[in-house]
Structure 1
């Protein structure tokens, strides 16, 4: 992403940001984004949502449940819709070709990345979960599924898309990185208490 200062849209001084989000096997969403204040605020809200969910955190092979990952992705729909409704048309204005808006990016990521994953895998996982014996725990049962690795791979592809979106949202919001873990440096304590 590159940015240039000094572009004016809607009477406000804005940064121009170049955005490119690759969606595997589908398309690449991209263009120049000159956000207005409402888009910066909406970007912050969606960024916080993405940064605090498993949606942008890599799911290790022996970590978490696939059901939880799908459920977390599903909630991104509701949150995104709520943000779009709250900020209204100001986050999806008409722009010239080669330009994007918060609305264009958010809706396209939902429809081209998350929706296909959920519509394919939710019923498949639900059918497998229905076969679980009463005395079998959900974690063991899920890890025995012969399609679990395939689903994890597709969740990883969507995670990368959402991470790319989150990075663009972060740039527009103009905030620090909340996704990359940074452990605060510990100051060693000496014997004299200093």
Structure 2
């Protein structure tokens, strides 16, 4: 998409044209979907990248789901340089079994130091019993993602160690990592059970 650094959440907050209206529109999604999405679309036209992401989430979770609209808004956020947009678009493709497209997006995210993209790229490398072929790529991605706070990556790495996939000598390390990941996951879940670092 671009050779520029992807924008994180803090960057998007700083660039937000009307944070107060954004928060009101987001809160309105649960009670008046049409009005909320209309307000978010207006904000998106004014350059609000967070509105684009919220619209993608809204259409992905709506009943019935509108995945075409979700993809449209995630892609707009991604094209405007948002790491959250890239990850959401990649995850949507992963869930639709479009693994080639998801891999391309997660690869870009990983190259931009996004820990969520690293974890899901590792999942793609392990897909369809390809673990042995990609074992060292997977380990590197999981270790880096875990070091940046992704609990799901830490747990996945722990299971790989405990299963002896990286040698019997790493089994005790796997047990320690697994117990540590459980504690970290509990702390995160108390604050926010929907935290993306818990997704797997």
TM-score, length of structure 1 as denominator length: 0.28
| Structure with the larger helix share | 2
TM-score, length of structure 2 as denominator length: 0.27
Report which structure shows greater RCO (CA 8 Å, sep ≥6).
1
